[in-house]
A and B are shown apart, each in its own frame.
Chain A
Amino acid sequence: MRVQVNGVERETAAATVGDLLREMGIDSAKRGSAVAINDSVAPRAAWDETALHEDDRVEVIRPVQGG
């Protein structure tokens, strides 16, 4: 399936948000990251049950140094 992650097209075998994060090497157990799919926040507690769909726009963020 093809999705867009942080503005970049990506071919993925992941079925859920949780799978996708693991595929990307992101420790989903750790506080400090968040995910939106098509401009809606996907709650952390439901990442493993949140299904991905073709052409979903996924944003994966984390806090960084800022002012």
Chain B
Amino acid sequence: MAADTLGIGPLQVDSRLFVGSSNYPNLQVMLDAIAASGAEVVTVAIRRVDLSDPSGEGVVDVLTRGGYTLLPNTAGCYTAKDAVLTAQLAREALETDLIKLEVIGDDRTLFPDAEELLTATSQLIADGFTVLPYTNDDPIVARKLMDLGCAAVMPLGAPIGSGLGIRNPHNIAIIREMISVPLIVDAGVGAASDAAVAMELGCDGVLMNTAIAGARDPVKMATAMNLAVRAGRAGFLAGRVPRKMYATASSPIHGVIGT
């Protein structure tokens, strides 16, 4: 199969699956699952150093050894101000301009705050960041994020960690039509079929964490997600048949015995 490389700003990846590094039973399962997922890009969060244990082995070390591209996030930030500072600290810590921008509006749904998100996006792009914003499945906000210069737009499929799948495939399809930068479904995937659906809708990639880390067998689920993203992508590129109300026979109509 010909190369199907995805470019996001300066980043070039062959795998269209992006994974988080959180909530695994242990670090080894995390590494095994990420390897099985085929992902090249792994997200990390930015947190205060634990003053009582400042020396602990960081996830950065093990992921860097694995050759992964680290994508820091601004998870936990509720204001543009906090998100911008977190992104700047991430850049300093990891020597990367990549940022998965999250500005949350509510702790129960973890839905993005569109107003703060757009504000933070403007500031970070002016500051030279490659911004990948986590956003609601709102086509207008998605278009605004693209117009501000985001390297990709990452609408949620469903609330973070919910496993509900792609709750509004029609909005994802509309966003796909409206934006020309890479479109990555971020959050909400529960089953491998959800990831395939996202890709069949024409998304360029899928980002997930809980769906893999929280599965009974994370490594096996990582394999399933790897295959699902590939299957969905191939299905999208192949072009599906139109939906019809009534049957069209697959077998020849002529020559049936007794007619």
By a beta-carbon cutoff of 8 Å, the part of chain A in contact with chain B is: 5-8, 24-27, 31-36, 39, 41, 43-44, 59-67
Contacts and interface: CB of A to CB of B under 8 A. Distances in A.
Given A27-B55, A66-B73, A60 B61 contact: no
B140 interface: no
Interface stretch (B82-90, B143-151, B223-231): B82-90
Most-contacted residue by chain B among A24, A32, A43, A60 (CB, 10 A): A32
A62 B51 contact: no
A36 B85 contact: yes
Nearest to A8: B51
Contact of A62 (B22, B23, B60, B210): B60
A6 to B, nearest CB: 4
Contacts of B59: 63-65
- Among A8, A36, A66, which residue has the most Cβ atoms of chain B within 10 A? A66
A34 B90 contact: yes
B22 A66 contact: yes
Contacts, number: 111
B4 interface: no
B55 A26 contact: yes
11 contacts: A6-B48, A24-B54, A34-B89, A44-B92, A59-B89, A65-B30, A65-B44, A65-B45, A66-B45, A66-B46, A67-B161
B73 A67 contact: yes
**Which among A6, A35, A64 has the highest number of chain B CB atoms within 10 Å?**
A64
B199 interface: no
Contacts of B161: 67
Q: Majority SS of interface residues in chain B? A: mixed
A39 B44 CA distance: 21
Interface residues on B, range: 35 or more
A62 B58 contact: yes
B35 to A, nearest CB: 16
B114 to A, nearest CB: 20
A24 B60 contact: no
A60 B48 contact: yes
B112 interface: no
Which 5 pairs of residues, A with B, have the shortest CB-CB distance? A66-B45, A67-B20, A67-B209, A34-B92, A34-B93
Given A62-B47, A67-B73, A67-B210, A33 B93 contact: yes
A63 B92 CA distance: 11
A31 B61 CA distance: 9
B54 to A, nearest CB: 5
B75 interface: yes
Nearest to B92: A34
Contacts of A35: 89, 92
Contacts of B60: 31-32, 62-63
B186 to A, nearest CB: 9
B95 interface: yes
